[in-house]
Amino acid sequence: MMTSTRLRIAFAGTPEFAAVSLRSLITADQHDLVAVFTQPDRPAGRGRKVQKSAVKIIAESHHLNILQPHSFRDPATLETLRSLELDLLIVVAFGQILPQDILDTPRLGCINVHGSLLPRWRGAAPIQRAIEAGDQETGITIMQMAETLDSGPMYLKKSCAIEKTDTAQTLHDKLADLGAECLLESLPALSNGSTSPEQQDEAQVTYAAKITKAEAEINWQEPAQIIERKIRAFNPFPVCHTELFGGKVRIWAAEVLESDSTLVKKPAGDIINLSRDGLDIATGNGVLRIKSLQMPGKRQVSVSDFVNANPNLIDLVK
């Protein structure tokens, strides 16, 4: 058996999904982590205060060399990368497209931890699109990066079941842990040259387009099953919403009622029933029961708590 050698590596990532992999690399301490690239600090949240990325917070706590280029296309960034004399650059949800000059700089190139079973769901929102599409499984792919989006050959793939109750947040957390596990598993073979990647099947490619806020407005003409999947896919962002009770209400959780759609006499979008069990709304096919909602300017609550606070609404919707 060939023994693995310590590599000079750099890590490029930004959100919490990437921070999980960075923590694992630091804890494992199997390679020399000489630099961490992350996006520049930016205003975020209601107060628009400048915030550090999740990756930067981890890197600072371990006194790592932190670099925050505005663009990897800047010639100065390329020179900085070359000066590090890297064996490998690990990229996890960094947030920028890397040009070919960057990809070619490390001795072993650049690898990426991607949150889907490629070639399905290339692109910006693989977790959300998998839930929205009703996929029963997704996973992690470790791939060699190419300049074309998520198209590089694959070193390792591991699957993860998508449960019927998974939201984008819960699935994100499971995949972040699986991604860190797959990354550490793939590095020994990369370091000793005992692995060769598998090309992606271009005939099987699907794209996970970036999520827009406009998509979060519920179209009640769609079937209840599709709306329910979108509610989970867009939780915690951008959160599905609809007009109810005179304002824009955010919908955090719902379930499809098993019912004969031919017995539903109300038009799509109309309230059928409101009780402590949930808020039932007619759709293009079937009935959707809202279980958790958020009124304008209020916090998220269960429908049971909402009814307790607004008992007069029960009679109004009958």
Residues 202 and 271 in one domain: no
Strand-strand pairing, 32-37 and 8-13: parallel
Residues 270 and 160 in one domain: no
Last residue of a domain, one of 149, 176, 208: 208
Last residue of a domain, one of 208, 241, 260: 208
To the nearest whole number, what is the mean pLDDT of the chain?
93
Q: What is the rounded average pLDDT of the residues 137-149?
A: 96
Q: Supply angle C-alpha 146, 152, 157, rounded to 5.
A: 145
Q: Residue 260 belongs to a domain with what CATH number?
A: 3.10.25.10
Residue 205's region, left for phi above 0, alpha for psi from -120 to 50, else beta, is beta
Question: Which helix H or strand E contains 176, and what residues bound it?
Answer: helix 168-192
- pLDDT per position as a tens digit, 216-251: 999 999 999 999 999 999 999 999 999 998 899 999
d(CA 190, CA 106): 13
Residue 262 has pLDDT above 80, yes or no: no
**Would you state the pLDDT for residue 188?**
94
Which residues, 6+ apart, have CB-to-CB distance to 24 below 8 Å? Answer: 180, 181, 183, 184
Expressed as residue numbers, the domain containing 133 is: 8-208
Residues 256 and 190 in one domain: no
| Residue bearing the bigger pLDDT, 313 or 136 | 136
Count of structural domains, the chain:
2
pLDDT band of 1, cuts 50, 70, 90? very low
Percent of the chain whose pLDDT exceeds 90: 86
d(CA 60, CA 234): 31
Asked, for residue 83, whether it belongs to a domain, the answer is yes
**Taking the complete model, does pTM exceed 0.75, yes or no?**
yes
Last residue of a domain, one of 175, 208, 241: 208
Residue 2 has pLDDT above 60, yes or no: no
Q: Residue 148 belongs to a domain with what CATH number?
A: 3.40.50.170
Residues 126 and 171 in one domain: yes
- pLDDT per position as a tens digit, 66-78: 999 999 999 999 9
Asked, for residue 1, whether it belongs to a domain, the answer is no
d(CA 172, CA 177): 9
Residues 54 and 97 in one domain: yes
d(CA 118, CA 126): 10
